[in-house]
Chain A
Amino acid sequence: MTAAQVVQSEWTKIRSVASTVWTLSLAVVVTVALGMLISALSSNEFDNMSTKDRLSFDPTFISFAGMSLGQLAMIVFGVLVVSNEYSTGMIRTSLAAVPQRGTFLFSKIAVATALALAVGLVTSFVAFFLGQAMLGSHRAEIGDPHVLRAVIGGGVYMTLIAVFSMGVAAMLRSPMLSLGILMPFFFLISNILGNVDATKKIGRYLPDQAGSKIMQVITPIDDDTPYGPWGGLGIMALWVIAVLVGGYVLLKRRDA
């Protein structure tokens, strides 16, 4: 058995279930649509803003505002790709066919990651261009300094969110439990921790808070974050590696 065979098999698996299509389409639609809406609103509000806010105005980052909601669809995608195996009982058939559990898990994650990256990049570019169109005269251009990095980074960010969810699902196995932890964490808890002064210093090391730094082009004036865009992405990547290792170790040890 070669890894290439298993990758091909995992591609057949992922393309033959409906959840792949609807989770990924939802991620694109929600991210782009919400980004456009917020961009349009921000453009109208610009004239009423304080000077400080105007100086911090980051049209690129604003066009990615839809990701706060769109990433939830990416989380569902990542969780379902892995936990479907357990909730359906397919895992026993899969591991009987591919008893090398590391090959099985990482082939699955590689295929899902490649797909998430493709969708993430498309989402990110579409969200950027349509968002800028809404911003009118306050728009950023793709050729402006750091903008391309932010746009590609947006796609990578969405991908890493999905991979993080895959790792968590590999550890927890149950789709309900995984979603029940990840959705409120990324939608509420992380935001609260990152915005309350007392917990801000810890909150900014959470995967989404750190990772989203890559999408910033203009650093807010009073920002004292001790890492830059690449540092933030690195912190997020460390989180992802940690959960993947956890998922692998548990899969290796557990009875299927």
Chain B
Amino acid sequence: MIELEGLTKRYGEKLAVDDLTFTVRPGMVTGFLGPNGAGKSTTMRMMLGLDRPTAGDVRIDGQHYDRLKDPLKYIGALLDAKAMHGGRSARNHLLCLAQSNGIPGRRVAEVLDTVGLTAVARKKAKGFSLGMGQRLGIAGALLGDPRILMFDEPVNGLDPEGIHWIRNLMKSLAAQGRTVFVSSHLMSEMALTADHLVVIGQGRLLADTSMADFIAQNSRSYVRVRTPQRERLLDVLHLAGVTVVESGSGVLEADGGSAEQIGELAAQHQIVLHELSPQQASLEEAFMQLTAGSVEYHAHTDAPYDVPPPAAQQAQQPQPRQWGDDWNRSRR
């Protein structure tokens, strides 16, 4: 269990992490989601005692990180794949970590086997691909057989096979009752692995919810309808109790009615339909909506991000903002 209480980190004028309070529970994968620069890595470094919080507290199983005896036996972390000396062999890299925490040397061979690096155990880490480096980092996290595991963007730069492997690894670790905390900036990735979701933007907590609730609340399903007889259809749907949102260029989005129901209503009243299609707003869109106000770096376009077609016409589309808004916001 990891408990954060009012965790805050300030770099000069800028608040990187702003009063975060949440708990990471055992037995499940907790996704830590936020756009680039939201403060995920800073938060994780503070959890490991690498960065000192400006205010607030983090406790690992009730203790401060630097009070843990042999911390690798409590919590294993993959921060970034290249946090190792490239001139050292994979085996020696793990051996020096094991020795510092009194972990028996045979664990080195075991974790190398777990991550599939036995064949290159004596090779220098600088010759490793990003995926192999990532695997070696994960081997280091698993070394002390810890109850808590923490991965910062573990799928970054991995090939599909590696991504699949990491997903399964995280799920199996959680299934063994361990606490698994994994950060990502990709909602789609989290949707596949996480049971619980903590979302931050510009260092602030935006959501702390179970994945199921997040999906239920945020994945709006609706039926997209186009018709030349717009007024008549609106009347008909209104009478039938179906909420309709007009989203420009003659497209109607009907909430709370199935495609079958709308199609039958239109047939009864002899209304011509040009399009009748059920739609589901993706979780990625829901995530972008949630964090839209707190995106740290975005491309210099009129909209804060490139919105895929269905969402482009959604009513809740954020106002186009001016270049520099975020900068001003972050200076407050």
Chain A residue at smallest Cβ distance from B52: A255
Residues of chain B lying within 8 A (CB to CB) of residue A91: 83
A88 near B85 with CB under 8 A, answer yes
Shortest distance from the beta carbon of A53 to any chain B beta carbon, whole Å: 48
The complex places the Cα of A5 from the Cα of B65 at a distance, in Å, of 18
Residues of chain B lying within 8 A (CB to CB) of residue A9: 96-100
Residues of chain A lying within 8 A (CB to CB) of residue B77: 96
The complex places the Cα of A93 from the Cα of B80 at a distance, in Å, of 9
Task: Identify B96's interface contact among A10, A18, A89, A256, CB under 8 A.
Answer: A10
B79 near A1 with CB under 8 A, answer no
The complex places the Cα of A91 from the Cα of B97 at a distance, in Å, of 12
The complex places the Cα of A10 from the Cα of B205 at a distance, in Å, of 39
Residues of chain A lying within 8 A (CB to CB) of residue B49: 95-96, 99
A54 at the interface (CB under 8 A from B): no
Residues of chain A lying within 8 A (CB to CB) of residue B68: 99
Given the interface contacts A5-B100, A16-B96, A98-B100, does A93 sit within 8 Å of B79 by beta carbon?
yes
Residues of chain B lying within 8 A (CB to CB) of residue A89: 80, 82-84
Interface size, chain A (Cβ < 8 Å)? 30
A90 at the interface (CB under 8 A from B): yes
Residues of chain A lying within 8 A (CB to CB) of residue B240: none
A8 at the interface (CB under 8 A from B): yes
Chain B residue at smallest Cβ distance from A13: B96
The complex places the Cα of A94 from the Cα of B101 at a distance, in Å, of 11
Interface segment, one of B87-95, B260-268, B293-301: B87-95
B45 at the interface (CB under 8 A from A): yes
B99 near A99 with CB under 8 A, answer no
The complex places the Cα of A237 from the Cα of B71 at a distance, in Å, of 35
Chain A interface main SS type: helix
The complex places the Cα of A18 from the Cα of B126 at a distance, in Å, of 13
Given the interface contacts A97-B101, A99-B68, does A88 sit within 8 Å of B86 by beta carbon?
yes
Q: Which of B63-81 contact A (CB under 8 A)?
A: 65-66, 68-72, 77, 79-80
Residues of chain B lying within 8 A (CB to CB) of residue A94: 100
The complex places the Cα of A19 from the Cα of B85 at a distance, in Å, of 11
Task: Identify B65's interface contact among A8, A19, A99, A255, CB under 8 A.
Answer: A99
A199 at the interface (CB under 8 A from B): no
A121 at the interface (CB under 8 A from B): no
Residues of chain B lying within 8 A (CB to CB) of residue A90: 83-85
Given A13-B85, A85-B85, A255-B45, 15 more pairs with CB closer than 8 A: A1-B69, A1-B101, A1-B102, A9-B97, A16-B89, A84-B85, A88-B84, A88-B86, A90-B83, A92-B80, A93-B84, A96-B49, A96-B50, A99-B68, A255-B50
Q: Nearest 8 pairs between A and B by C-beta?
A: A9-B100, A16-B92, A9-B99, A99-B66, A255-B51, A12-B96, A89-B83, A256-B50
Q: Spell out A's residues near B (CB within 8 Å).
A: 1-2, 5-6, 8-10, 12-13, 16-19, 84-85, 88-100, 255-256
- Enumerate 12 A-B pairs (CB-CB under 8 Å) in ascending A order: A1-B70, A1-B102, A6-B100, A9-B99, A84-B85, A89-B80, A89-B84, A92-B79, A93-B140, A95-B48, A99-B65, A256-B50
